[in-house]
Structure 1
Amino acid sequence: MARFVGLAVVALQLATAAAPLPQPGTCGGVAIEYPFGIGPNCSLSDGFNVECVDDTPRLRLGGGGEQEEVVKVLRIDLLRGKIRTTNTISWQCTEKGGATAGARLQNSSWTGLNATALPYRFSDEDNRFFTLGCNALVFLNGEASGIDDPILSGCISTCFGNASIRNGTCSGIGCCEMAIPRGLNSYSLEFTGPLVNSSSNNDWCIYAALMESAGFSFEVAYATTDMFYRKNNGTVPLLLNFVVGNETCKEAQASGGYACAGDHSVCVDAVDGPGYVCNCSQGYTGNPYLPDGCTDLDECRPGNQVCPPGMICSNFPGGYNCSCPKGQHNSSKSGVLICEPDQKQSSLPLSVIVVIGVGGGLAIVVTSILSTYLVRQRRALADVKRKYFAQHGGLLLYEELSSRQGNAFTIYTEEQLEQASNGFDESNVLGRGGHGTVYKGTVASGVVVAIKRCKLMDERNKKEFGKEMLILSQINHKNIVKLLGCCLEVDVPMLVYEYVPNGTLYQLIHGGPAAAAAVSFATRLRIAHESAESLAYLHSFASPPILHGDVKSSNILLDESFMAKVSDFGASILAPTDEAQMVTMVQGTCGYLDPEYMQTCQLTEKSDVYSFGVVLLELLTGEKPLCLDGPEEGRSLSARFLAAMRETRVDKIVDEKVKGEASDELLEEITQLALECLQMCGGDRPAMKEVAERLGGLRRLHQHPWTQDAVELEEARCLLGSSPESISFEVDASHGTDSSGY
Structure 2
Amino acid sequence: MRFCLQPLHEKLLMPQVIALPILGVLVVFVLPTTAEADQALLPQALLGCSDHCGNVTIPYPFGMAKGCYRGPEFFINCTTGTTPDEEPIPYLTTRSGTDDLIQIHVTNISLKGELHVLQPITRACDADLNVGRETDLPLPPPFTFSNTKNNFFTIGCGSSGNLLGFRPGLGLDGHTLSNIHRYCFTFCDDNSSGNDTDLVITDDSCSGFACSLSSLPSGVQYISIILSRSMPTNWYSSYPCRYAFLAEKSEFTFSPNTSFQQLSNTSHLPVVVNWEIGDHGPCDLAQRSKHADFACKGNSTCINWPNVTRPTGYICQCKEGYQGNPYLPDGCQDIDECKSNPCSAGSCVNTPGNYSCICPNGMKGRSCKDKSKTIVIIVMGISVILALLVGSSCSIYWGMKQRSLLIMGLRQPGIFCAEELEKATNNYDDGRVLGKGSYGIVYKGILPNNKTVAIKKSKIGAPTQSEQFVNELVVLSEINHRNVVRLLGCCLETEVPLLVYEFITNGTLFEHVHGKENKRSSLTWEFRLKIAAETAGALAYLHSSTFMQIIHRDVKAMNILLDENYTAKVSDFGASVLIPLDQTQIVTFVEGTLGYLDPAYLQSNQLTEKSDVYSFGVVLAELMTSKVAFSYDRPESERSLARMFVCAVEEERLNHILDGDVVSEGNIETVSNVARLAKRCLKLKGEERPTMREVATELEGMRIMANHPQGTNADDDLGPEDQTSLSLGSPSNTSDDDVRGDCGPCTTITTGTTSRSI
Query: TM-score scaled to structure 1, two decimals?
Result: 0.49
Query: TM-score scaled to structure 2, two decimals?
Result: 0.48
